[in-house]
Amino acid sequence: MAVRMKRYDMDRMCLGAIALWLLVLGSCKSKGASSDSPQEQSTEIRPSSTVVLSAAPEQSEAAGTHRPVNKKLEVGQKVDIPSGAFLSGSTPGDRGRDASLEPALVKVELGAYSIDRLPYPNDPSMEPRTGVTRREAEQLCAERKQRLCTELEWERACKGPEENAYSTGQGWDGACEKQPQACASGFDVVGMGTIREWTSSDWDVGDGESKTSAVLRGGRKGVADTEHRCARRELADAQAQGMDLGFRCCGGAANAARVSKPPTLPTFRRAKLDASQVASMLRTVPQLADLGEVKFFQEPDDVNRVVARGDAGRQGNTLTTSPLLWSPALGEELLVMAGLGASGSSFIAAFHRLPDDRYRIASTFVLKNDPGPIVLGFNGWVKNRLTWSSCWGCIGEEGLIVHRDQGRIVIEQR
């Protein structure tokens, strides 16, 4: 039986339904907030060392080092690699580093294994076998009762017991491209980094498909020195073939250790750290050593002062005086801060965040005899840059902190 309702009852029900809908919508927005939104709860940072590593040079400063072979090359030689740990990957901020692929010096334990001293056919009288797919390489190793090396086995053999960046040492010896059999790693494995090599390792590219990519190690001829680093990884279709794409075989049980994907972090997070500890860190940075004791600017008073000096409005940006943890790309994490030194100069500094909460200088900018205040401005939808400002929207009194290719950070004034 139909029931006729009074008009005011219907109005009350409609208003109640609308209120309930708005409440649910607000709840959904809260739960579904973008991971790129700044997290209001600060992440406490306790640097494990007050010594900040120096920034990576724009060009290679390490002279091309040469490590000759220890013993005469013969057919079928193998090198026994003992069980032990090594640091996989590279240091954040290194030239040529791909942070999305290379771990940040992750400790890896490997069991003992053997590796062919030369690329297949492991014969000093023959050129490396190239132009084969990974499956064909696996079959050729299996015919010798061996297997393809995992990528971490390859990397450890390349870095050697001293864990060098290149098989030839801390710098790449370009002569090895012409005479690969004259160059050995610290384990006396020969020719590593002179051609690209198949490994048995796969990598989920994370594109939503089930297909994975095969991992290559080594480098091509005629490319930048950083392309020959032991930590360098390259992805390829397992069916690919190339005249510079070879392989070498390993023996013993395959190590199960594998490279893990870097976590996806919020683009911006507020950081909480002690100003006195920051001062100790900055004293180890030549560009900032003269600042003396430092203090952070205050929120909201200093933010309001910076906004009031200009007439641009915030324009959808979040402004803060808090230090920030910034993740502009997968695998990249930086600590960015602005502050005032006892010298009367204000500064902006960006540091690469390393394992164990250590830091490496990325970029600095000092405003001599300018007490600020300085704020950091960001928009969660823009990952690769943030703004610094002492007068919001004023030409010459603000600038950008920009993440560029290969993890380079540039602080500029505009």
Q: Please state which of the ranges 26-35, 194-203, 343-352 shows the lowest mean pLDDT.
A: 26-35
Mark whether 246 and 274 lie in a shared domain: no
Residue 365 has pLDDT above 50, yes or no: yes
Is residue 41 classed as helix, strand or coil in its secondary structure? strand
Strands (E), 191-241: 196-203, 213-218, 234-236
Q: Could you tell me which residue, 260 or 8, shows the higher pLDDT? A: 260
Same domain, 136 and 243: yes
13 domain residue, yes or no: no
36: closest CA among 272, 303, 328?
328
What CATH number does residue 142 fall under?
A: 3.90.1580.10
Q: Which region among 145-159, 203-217, 374-388 has the lowest average model confidence (pLDDT)?
A: 203-217
63 lies in some domain: no
Contact indicator for 101, 108 with CB cutoff of 8 Å: no
pLDDT at residue 316, rounded to an integer: 81
Name the more confident of 14 and 301.
Answer: 301
Is residue 392 scored above 90 in pLDDT? yes
DSSP 311: S
What tens digit of pLDDT does each residue of 146-174 get? 999 999 999 999 999 999 999 999 999 99
Q: pLDDT at position 9, please?
A: 43
Residue 135 has pLDDT above 80, yes or no: yes
Amino acid letter, residue 345: S
Q: What is the mean pLDDT of the chain?
A: 87
pLDDT at 93 over 90: yes
Single residue among 210, 225, 251 that ends a domain in this structure? 251
Whether residue 371 is preceded by a cis peptide bond, meaning omega within 30 degrees of 0, is: no
For residues 262 and 315, the model is more confident at 262
Residue 106, in any domain of the structure: yes
Alpha-carbon span 167 to 190, nearest angstrom: 9
Asked, for residue 37, whether it belongs to a domain, the answer is: no
**Token pair of 188 as six digits:** 């006396």
Do 195 and 108 share a domain, yes or no?
yes
pLDDT grade, residue 204 (50/70/90)? Answer: confident
Is 80 exceeded by the pLDDT of residue 331?
yes
Entry pTM: 0.84
Instruction: Check whether residue 285 and residue 240 sit in a common domain.
Output: no
Query: Quick one: 202 and 276 in the same domain?
Result: no
The mean pLDDT of 379-390, rounded to a whole number, is 93
How many angstroms separate the CA atoms of 221 and 228, rounded? 9
Domain that holds residue 403: 268-413
Shared domain for 189 and 272, answered yes or no, is no
Same domain, 114 and 225: yes
What pLDDT band is residue 25 in, cutting at 50, 70 and 90? very low
* Alpha-carbon gap, residue 264 to 228, rounded angstroms: 28
274 with 246, same domain? no
Query: Does residue 279 share a domain with residue 242?
Result: no
- What pLDDT score does 144 carry? 98
b/e for 255-275, b at 16 or more Cβ within 10 A?
bebebeebeebbbbbbbebee
Judge if 232 and 287 occupy the same domain: no
The answer to whether residues 176 and 242 belong to one domain is yes
Judge whether 46 lies within some domain.
Answer: no
pLDDT at 338: 96
Strands 268-272 and 39-44: parallel
338 vs 54 pLDDT, higher one: 338
> What confidence tens digit (pLDDT) does each residue in 30-76 have?
333 334 445 456 777 666 666 677 776 665 545 567 777 888 999 99
| Stretch 301-308: mean pLDDT | 96
Distance (Å, whole) CA 53 – CA 235: 30
Q: Which has more confidence, 354 or 23?
A: 354
Q: In the prediction, which pLDDT does 166 show?
A: 96
So what's the pLDDT on residue 172?
Answer: 93
**32 falls within a domain:** no
Q: Which residue has the tokens 């001829």?
A: 221
The pLDDT score that the predictor gives to residue 56 is 67
Residue 34 lies in a domain: no
Average pLDDT over residues 244-252: 98
**Are residues 193 and 317 both part of a single domain?**
no
User: Which of these ranges, 198-202, 303-307, 330-334, 379-383, has the smallest mean pLDDT?
Assistant: 379-383
Banded model confidence at residue 22, pLDDT cuts 50, 70, 90: very low
Q: What is the DSSP letter of 259?
A: P
239 in a structural domain: yes
- Structurally, how many domains does the chain consist of? 2
